[in-house]
Amino acid sequence: MKTSLICFLCICVVLFLVLVFRSLMHQKISVKQGLRWFGVVAVMAIALAFPGLSSTISNFLGFEITSNMIFIVGFFALLFMTYFMSVELTQQKKSIALLSQELSILKAKDEKK
């Protein structure tokens, strides 16, 4: 990999790290989601620090081209993230429904007094 490309990707990783950190500080994302994204940044940093590691892993797993492995890994990572976020969304919807029902009951009791 060319040095200029590695420098550009390092800058992108650092900017993404700053974005995640700022989002956490301003509470735009939860800590749980922030940790997921910090994990993504860590994997990207390791891949940049050891460029031969991804080719070694892809050859070991039987991929002919390293980019194919990266696309497959990225696809499954996004698939898992989407699944876990939809589970979390479903739990939040249930909580909101329960809270709105409890609020309605409390308002009804308050109106009777």
For residue 5, the model assigns a pLDDT of 87
For residue 112, the model assigns a pLDDT of 82
Q: What is the CA radius of gyration of the chain?
A: 22
Spatial distance between the Cα atoms of 86 and 93, rounded to a whole number of angstroms: 10
Angle CA(86)–CA(23)–CA(89) in degrees, nearest 5? Answer: 15
Sequence-ordered list of residues with C-beta below 8 angstroms from that of 106, at least 6 positions apart, any chain: none
Spatial distance between the Cα atoms of 56 and 18, rounded to a whole number of angstroms: 30
For residue 72, the model assigns a pLDDT of 94
SS3 at position 12:
helix
For residue 42, the model assigns a pLDDT of 92
What's the gap between Cα 20 and its chain centre? Answer: 10
Q: Which residue ranges of the chain lie beneath pLDDT 50?
A: none
